[in-house]
Amino acid sequence: MLEHDVLVVGAGLAGMQAALHAAKQGVSVAILTKVHPVRSHSNAAQGGINAAMEEDDPWEDHAYDTVKGSDYLGDQDAIEVLCSEAPETIIELEHMGVIFNRGSRGQIDLRAFGGQARKRTCYVADITGQVMLHVIYEQLMKAGTQVYEEWFVTSLVRQNDAVCGVIAMDLRSGELHLIKAKAVILCTGGSGRVYEPSSNALICTGDGYAQAYRVGAPLMDMEMVQYHPTTLPGNGALMTEGARGEGAYLINANGERFMERYAPNMMELASRDVVSRAEQTEINEGRDINGCVLLDVRHLDRNTIMQKLSQIRELGLEYEGIDIIEEPCPVRPGMHYMMGGIKTDIEGATFVKGLYSAGEAACVSVHGGNRLGANSLLDTLVYGKRAGTSAVLYADGISSPDIPDSRLQEDREHINGILSRNSEQGERAAALRLAMGQTMHQHVGVFREQSGLEKAQDTIATLKERYRNVSVDDKGKVFNTDVLFALEVGLMLDVAEAIVASALFRTESRGAHYRTDFPERNDDDWLKHTLVFSDESGPRLETLPVTITQWQPARRTY
């Protein structure tokens, strides 16, 4: 029987950080991940990680920028934790081995990022996430933490109002196992694949959102979906905000730096929701180049590009055939990040006992309506650590769960159902996902309104119905990625349903959620979080007040 005190699901930065800090307390900890840890999507964070590192930069200023960036929807107690613990987190990382680019005295150098009043972003060229992920994996190897590598959670086990384990498939053998755990921490990342296109990796299927949702943990602010202003039109790949941090311009078909009409002070470095909306407006009003605007770094020093933006130069060459040193590169807003997620408190605990969460999977909420660039890496580490530590405290106080073997049978039957269906007559998971992704992009993207959202709601309901007849070609056990994908699509449809329901519910415009039928922010009615629960009859919505400590909501301009 497989059993641990704490089981972490997901091995990105949040997951590994949670596991490392849980293991420090001397309890039995394991990580379960559907891909090898260094394949995780934390890799994709290019630009950097924010922290008030300089003496004349109090962390409160970072917190204020974050609160303002969130369009006052972030919980200020959580943001205070995030920003006050940021500098020590960076130092810990540096001592762990993260290299960080340096300034003239050999100190950690800072670059400018969007939505912030000053330079506050620590970075390693444009591979910050990759370096951090590999370094924290080094620490995991050093600690000898057990990893269930290439395992996939098919469901969470909830008994007597508490989560006490998971059912998971070892992808290599195809066998299903019950893993008991006194506490489970979901660090499963975001759900970019719910949208088409998206900057996210193929593994970002929001597994944790759906699994938590299914066992009764509510999801918060799911309507807050970040569109990144600079993704490539071809495959949706990300071109770092660091480019604009280093001084890149955004220009439209007329050659204008159009941001001066939308954010005259911060220009290209306004917060992401503002820039993405500006771009989409330019595109909708016909000042586009094949549905794109242009990212222009031609005026930057060649050395700066080669040393600090080398990866995005490669991406431009690789996927668009454009050398950014010579030519501006077409970009457009692309689905990038989920501000919403599994509702947790500042200790990482969800509404369900025994279930914890951190990173993009969770919603504390530090990002509110719009996440600032380079705050996500920080979120993973600060709250990964907290979730790991508090899960151990909880696990300490309870005894080993007793779960009947029959629980395994439910998941086995579900999978056998998919395997047994004739693939000629069944639904292809890929077709369902594509239809879902395109609908979400069209109706639940940068701009939204009632009738479009209702269309999306109908489409998702139809797709869920069709999903009941999903089938696969691969009937084997070893690395059956066909079945894996079918299971992921089933989870994604639940996530899509939660996003649409939340977006319909919030009848105002705030942060990334812009309703053309309710174009103003409405603090009187909507200075609160949306909470979505999974009921028999579908999503049920509630609200939760926003925690305000020192910054009263104000008009937001950049």
Minimum distance, C-beta of residue 212 to another protein, in the bound complex (Å): 22
Nearest by Cα to 529 from 556, 552, 505: 505
Answer yes or no: are the C-beta atoms of 415 and 484 closer than 8 Å: no
- Alpha-carbon Rg for the chain, nearest whole angstrom, is 22
Q: Give whichever of 193 and 343 is closer to another protein, judged by the CB atom.
A: 193
Tell me how far apart the alpha carbons of residues 164 and 182 are, in angstroms, rounded to a whole number: 5
Phi, psi of 137 (to 5 degrees): -65, -35
CA 392 from chain center: how many Å? 24
Tell me how far apart the alpha carbons of residues 202 and 198 are, in angstroms, rounded to a whole number: 9
**Residue 424, both tokens:** 């000629």
Minimum distance, C-beta of residue 406 to another protein, in the bound complex (Å): 27
Nearest by Cα to 29 from 17, 43, 44: 17
Maximum CA pair distance of the chain?
67
Minimum distance, C-beta of residue 229 to another protein, in the bound complex (Å): 17
Answer yes or no: are the C-beta atoms of 494 and 534 closer than 8 Å: yes
Q: Give whichever of 219 and 432 is closer to another protein, judged by the CB atom.
A: 432
DSSP 8-state class, residue 299: T
Q: Give whichever of 128 and 509 is closer to another protein, judged by the CB atom.
A: 128
With vertex at residue 437, the alpha carbon angle to CA 435 and CA 439, rounded to the nearest 5 degrees, is 70
Minimum distance, C-beta of residue 477 to another protein, in the bound complex (Å): 7
Which amino acid, residue 401? Answer: P
Q: Give whichever of 416 and 507 is closer to another protein, judged by the CB atom.
A: 416
521 is catalytic: no
Minimum distance, C-beta of residue 480 to another protein, in the bound complex (Å): 8
User: Residue 486: which residues within 8 A CB-CB, separation 6 or more?
Assistant: 418, 429, 470, 471, 472
Minimum distance, C-beta of residue 104 to another protein, in the bound complex (Å): 8
Q: Give whichever of 393 and 430 is closer to another protein, judged by the CB atom.
A: 430
Contacting residues toward another protein, per CB under 8 A: 35-36, 38-41, 43-44, 90-91, 94-97, 99-103, 105-109, 124-125, 127, 130-131, 134-135, 138-139, 141-142, 172, 201-203, 234-235, 237-238, 307, 311, 314-315, 318-319, 321, 423, 428, 430, 472-474, 476-482
CB burial of 478-514 (b: ≥16 within 10 Å; e: otherwise) equals eebebbbbbbbbbbbbbbbbbbbbbbbbbebbbbbbb
Please give the C-alpha separations between residue 460 and each of 443, 455, 483, 498, 501, in angstroms, as whole numbers.
12, 9, 21, 10, 11
DSSP 8-state class, residue 44: G
Q: What are the start-end ranges of the E strands in 72-174?
A: 110-111, 121-122, 146-149, 151-159, 162-170
Q: Give whichever of 96 and 398 is closer to another protein, judged by the CB atom.
A: 96
Q: Give whichever of 109 and 497 is closer to another protein, judged by the CB atom.
A: 109
Q: From the candidates 111, 193, 272, 448, which is the catalytic residue?
A: 272
Please give the positions annotated as active site.
Answer: 272
